[in-house]
């Protein structure tokens, strides 16, 4: 019989860190965060400064290329993105095959993966390296694909991009223009979208980003790697939480608005219910993005003249949780997803598109991390395990099994 204990001695010990709570997978120069102090920097610039002063493509450039662009660099980058917004018409045939009520995250993950079929040089080792072009294509076509999902769910024809518009305005045009009426892009709406996308643009080695790096470490092409990141983001414990938050706030409203009842339910471990938009693996003080988003929610809803009763419910829930020992002891604070959905809703984005909006914001981060992983020539990611199953059993033919 195999002596497992002896084998283990010979092969050395393996550290188990379930959920990778304290395992560093890489060295990275992209995003710095301090969960105790509530600090978040992209390439050394504070999230507060970037959200206030930069635009989304500027931040995308910063994340991907390491420096804020000069005017000339920015104009070139933006121009290239503008001129790649059209999606190959054959992609429509794939898209049309999805049932009308498919979740847009599943559709987006499939379509982004399908892009590799349209750009086979992305996985052909002998083809010239076109990584930079694939990066531009991803940034340019993702908004076009995302708006297809929305249009289909409404039974409306899709809109082609209007390349005279800036990135955020073009997205809003493709979402909301109708053949009978052009959507007038409100600068307040476009500025709000810009801010939300910046706040989501990167967050070091979170679940979806680690997925992108892990998949990419096998030398999988950039489209497949980003597609895997979209799938990871979809989960309700990660990006999918922004959809779940609004659904939870709606449930509280429908139930009469008693936030304490939901707090109590979240504290009851047998209920299987958690306060969505609360808690974070790394932030044990506050999530700096949540602070900015909470203020932005007040500003934007005020400017747009939107009175959404769930904003008051969200504030009441936050206050009750922050004064409750259960949440205080476990250092559970609102995270980035807690208020973002309220803003997206005020902008006219439907709930099932919230996580797609998160993905649109996170795209430059995923790209930057994939690129860094390749530039560093990181080895294939391959965690170990401690085996706990049966050992060394004699095979029993089927006829003799009981
Ligand atoms: N509601 C109630 N209790 C919670 C919550 C919550 N939202 N979050 C954590 N807890 C409790 C846990 O039950 C656990 O309690 P215990 O110590 O008595 O066992 C303790 O707090 C620690 O929780 P863990 O699940 O161990 O923390 P972890 O770091 O693994 O999980 C996570 C972090 C997934 C974000 C968690 O807080 C959660 O599920 N939050 C709700 C979903 C959510 O908002 N996700 C978005 C995260 S941000 C992002 O991905 C963009």
CA of 176 to the centre of ligand 1 (A): 35
Q: Give the Å distance between the CA of 278 and the centre of ligand 1.
A: 7
| Confidence band for 119, pLDDT divided at 50, 70 and 90 | very high
Per-residue confidence (pLDDT) for residue 18, from 0 to 100? 94
293 pLDDT higher than 70: yes
CA distance 22 to 10: 26
Q: Find out whether the beta carbon of 332 lies less than 6 Å from any atom of ligand 1.
A: yes
Q: How far is the CA of 136 from the centre of ligand 1 (A)?
A: 36
> Is residue 152 in contact with ligand 1, taking CB distance under 6 Å?
no
Q: Is the distance from CB of 222 to CB of 120 less than 8 angstroms?
A: no
For residue 290, pLDDT over 70 is answered with yes
- ipTM summary value: 0.96
User: What is the model's pLDDT at position 4?
Assistant: 66
Mean per-residue pLDDT over the chain, rounded:
94
Measured distance CA(128)–CA(345) in Å, rounded:
44
Q: Tens of pLDDT along 330-371?
A: 999 999 989 999 999 999 999 999 999 999 999 999 999 999
Phi, psi of 303, rounded to the nearest 5 degrees = -65, -35
Checking if the pLDDT of 266 tops 80, the result is yes
Going by CA atoms, what residue is nearest to atom 46 of ligand 1?
Answer: 238
196 pLDDT above the threshold of 70: yes
Q: Quote the CA–CA distance of 196 and 357 in Å, as a whole number.
A: 9
11 pLDDT band, cuts 50/70/90, is low
Cβ atoms of residues 173 and 162 within 8 Å: yes
Q: Is the CB of 219 under 6 A from ligand 1?
A: no
Q: Is the CB of 245 under 6 A from ligand 1?
A: no
Instruction: Please indicate whether residue 241, judged by its CB atom, sits closer than 6 Å to ligand 1.
Output: yes
Active site amino acids: 280, 337
**In the predicted model, what is the mean pLDDT of residues 265-286?**
93
Closest atom of ligand 1 relative to the 279 alpha carbon: 37
Strands 39-42 and 31-34: antiparallel
pLDDT at 1 over 80: no
What separation in Å is there between the alpha carbon of 16 and the centre of ligand 1?
Answer: 20
Q: What are phi and psi of 178, to 5 degrees?
A: -120, 155
Q: Residue 121 class from Cβ within 10 Å (0-12 exposed, 13-18 middle, 19+ buried)? A: middle
The pLDDT of residue 284 is 87
β-bridge mates for residue 334, sequence order: 278
Rounded to the nearest angstrom, the distance between the alpha carbon of 279 and the centre of ligand 1 is: 5
pLDDT of residue 9: 65
Distance from residue 119's CA to the centre of ligand 1 (Å): 40
Tell me, using a 6 A CB cutoff, whether residue 335 lines ligand 1.
yes
Average pLDDT over residues 115-140: 95
Q: Is ligand 1 within 6 A of the CB of residue 229?
A: no
With a CB cutoff of 8 Å and minimum separation 6, the contacts of 334 are 277, 278, 286, 287, 290, 294, 318, 321
Give the burial string for 322-353 (b: 16+ CB within 10 Å, else e).
eebeebeeeebbbbbbbbbbbbbbbbebebbb
Q: To test ligand 1's pocket by mutation, which of 196, 249, 279 has the most ligand atoms within 8 angstroms of CB? A: 279
pLDDT of amino acid 125: 85
pLDDT band at 80; cut points 50, 70, 90:
very high
For residue 278, what are the β-bridge partners? 334
User: pTM score, two decimals?
Assistant: 0.93
Q: Convert the pLDDT of each residue in 87-107 to its tens digit.
A: 999 999 999 999 999 999 999
pLDDT tier for residue 44 given thresholds of 50, 70 and 90: very high
Confidence of residue 14 (pLDDT cuts 50, 70, 90): confident
pLDDT band at residue 13 under the 50/70/90 scheme: confident
Closest Cα to atom 9 of ligand 1: 279
pLDDT in tens, 379-400: 999 999 999 999 889 999 999 9
- 2, pLDDT greater than 90: no
The answer, yes or no, to whether residue 5 has pLDDT greater than 70, is no
Share of the chain above pLDDT 90, in %: 90
Is the minimum distance from the CB of 134 to ligand 1 under 6 angstroms? Answer: no
> Model confidence at 205, in pLDDT bands (50, 70, 90)?
very high
């Amino acid at each position: 019989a195999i002596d497992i204990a002896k084998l283990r001695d010979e092969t050395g010990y393996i550290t188990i860190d379930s959920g990778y709570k304290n395992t560093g997978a890489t060295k990275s120069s992209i995003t710095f965060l301090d969960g105790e102090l509530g600090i978040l920097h992209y390439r050394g610039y504070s999230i507060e400064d970037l959200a206030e002063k930069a635009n989304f493509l500027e931040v995308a450039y910063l994340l991907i290329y390491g420096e804020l662009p000069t005017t000339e660099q920015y104009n070139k980058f933006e121009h290239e993105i503008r001129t790649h917004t059209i999606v190959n018409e054959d992609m429509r045939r794939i898209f049309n095959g999805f049932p009308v009520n498919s979740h847009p995250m599943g559709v987006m993950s499939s379509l982004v993966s399908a892009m590799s079929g349209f750009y086979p040089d992305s996985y052909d080792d002998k083809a010239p390296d076109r990584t930079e072009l694939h990066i531009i294509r991803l940034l340019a076509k993702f908004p076009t694909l995302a708006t297809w999902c929305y249009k289909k769910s409404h039974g409306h024809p899709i809109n082609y991009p209007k390349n005279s518009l800036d990135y955020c305005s073009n997205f809003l045009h493709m979402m909301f223009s109708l053949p009978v009426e052009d959507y007038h892009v409100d600068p307040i709406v476009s500025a709000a979208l810009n801010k939300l996308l910046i706040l989501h643009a990167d967050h070091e080695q979170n679940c979806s980003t680690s997925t992108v790096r892990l998949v990419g470490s096998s030398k999988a092409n950039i489209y497949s790697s980003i597609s895997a990141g979209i799938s990871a983001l979809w989960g309700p414990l990660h990006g999918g939480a922004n959809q779940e938050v609004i659904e939870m706030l709606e449930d509280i409203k429908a139930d009469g608005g008693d936030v304490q009842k939901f707090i109590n339910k979240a504290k009851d471990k047998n209920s299987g219910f958690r306060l969505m938009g609360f808690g974070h693996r790394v932030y044990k003080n506050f999530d700096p993005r949540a602070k900015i988003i909470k203020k932005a929610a007040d500003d934007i809803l005020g400017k747009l003249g939107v009175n959404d009763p769930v904003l008051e419910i969200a504030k009441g829930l936050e206050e009750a949780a922050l004064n409750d020992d259960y949440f205080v002891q476990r250092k559970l604070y609102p995270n980035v997803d807690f208020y973002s959905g309220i803003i997206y809703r005020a902008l006219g984005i439907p709930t099932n598109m919230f996580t797609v909006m998160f993905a649109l914001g996170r795209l430059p981060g995923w790209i930057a991390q994939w690129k860094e992983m390749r530039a560093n020539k990181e080895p294939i990611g391959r965690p170990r395990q401690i085996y706990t199953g049966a050992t060394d059993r004699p095979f029993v033919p089927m006829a003799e099994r009981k």
